[in-house]
Amino acid sequence: MAEREFLALSQEMTISREDFLRVLPAAVDQAHLRVDGDEIRPVDGESRWRIALSALDDLRVGAIRLPRQRVEIFLAGDDAEERGRFLARFELYFRRAGG
């Protein structure tokens, strides 16, 4: 990515890698994705984002075990409105139980 990028979002999510990758296309407006290890980028080369995904230890609550991932979204470009729309859509598609 030639443009300077910045970390726009870093959060822990209680989701398996498989479920994250299943939901992700809708969250990024059906962009075709290239998954290279723990890094995810759009194939088109024009979109200015990438996601770093890393597994964390499961969250344990009594007998319940929930898989967790660290999700970091890096964005580039000067259009703050476009970046805001990207993050809002991402959050909307990964929100669970109404928020």
For the chain, domain boundaries: 5-94
pLDDT digits (tens, 9 = 90+) for 21-59: 999 999 998 889 999 999 999 998 777 899 999 999 999
What's the pLDDT at 2? 53
Asked if residue 13 lies in contact with residue 69, where contact means CB atoms within 8 angstroms, the answer is: yes
Q: Report d(CA 83, CA 70) in Å as an integer.
A: 20
pLDDT digits (tens, 9 = 90+) for 58-78: 999 999 999 999 999 999 987
Q: For 38, list phi and psi in degrees, rounded to 5.
A: -100, 10
**What are the tokens at 73?**
């979204």
Inform me whether the pLDDT recorded for 13 exceeds 90: yes
What's the pLDDT at 1? 44
Question: Which of 73, 68, 69, 67 is CA-nearest to residue 85?
Answer: 73
Residues sharing a CB contact under 8 Å with residue 29, sequence separation 6 or more, in sequence order: 89
CATH code: domain 5-94 is 3.30.1370.80
Q: Specify the pTM.
A: 0.87
